[in-house]
Structure 1
């Protein structure tokens, strides 16, 4: 019903973009709670809405001295920032490419980029990162879930 009303209003208002009325429609439906929580600002063109984000990492381990303390503490730090380990471990298998396999890989899921970035930049994580860097190297990227 709102879509028909907004379409009618848009057609009656020359010079006003369809995007403007789409944003009004989305905001109206959002306020009612009919849109999924992961509705993307990049899709709707709206600020304040978010989508699931993932940190994907590949680690080369050079020594194991740091691992016990790090792996005992990192799950709680991830959870404190609304994150979750989806993948955590070793035995990566090459499917394609020629780069060396990492010793371990992980995928962390967060409600959105802001949560992932707050986690990564947090004092708690950065203290653990210093420990981890004492015996490993890490390549990590931040990506969004498809809408």
Structure 2
């Protein structure tokens, strides 16, 4: 598990990235495919060094434009399950795949899959890249307020 005190400010702008706030509401995140907290020792090129206590932070291969809701409210639940399994000493296979349609620059969602060798962790989920009260043009990532956009929580 990565050392949070080594975290640095993110500066990479993934495809479809826009201003992070709309009327005071955070709607965009630089979403990590593999969470910072579970990526200790992985460098920008994907190489592993067990002496590196930092996680993968500004790697353009590991970031995508993700809604704050999808990242902070939903994906974090599954990342927590992976983190807990790792803390218990389990070996985990984890895969995160952003799902795009055609030439769109903003992912429609992300498919998360994980299994531990001890078999106490096993999931395969699809998370929609949506935000309550907003609709997105996935071609360019631009958001528009739409109070009819209801996301079940």
Q: Normalized per residue, which structure has more strand?
A: 2
Higher relative contact order (CA 8 A, sep 6+): 1
Q: Normalized per residue, which structure has more helix?
A: 1
* Larger gyration radius, structure 1 or structure 2: 1
TM over 0.5: no
TM-score, with length taken from structure 2: 0.27
TM-score, with length taken from structure 1: 0.28
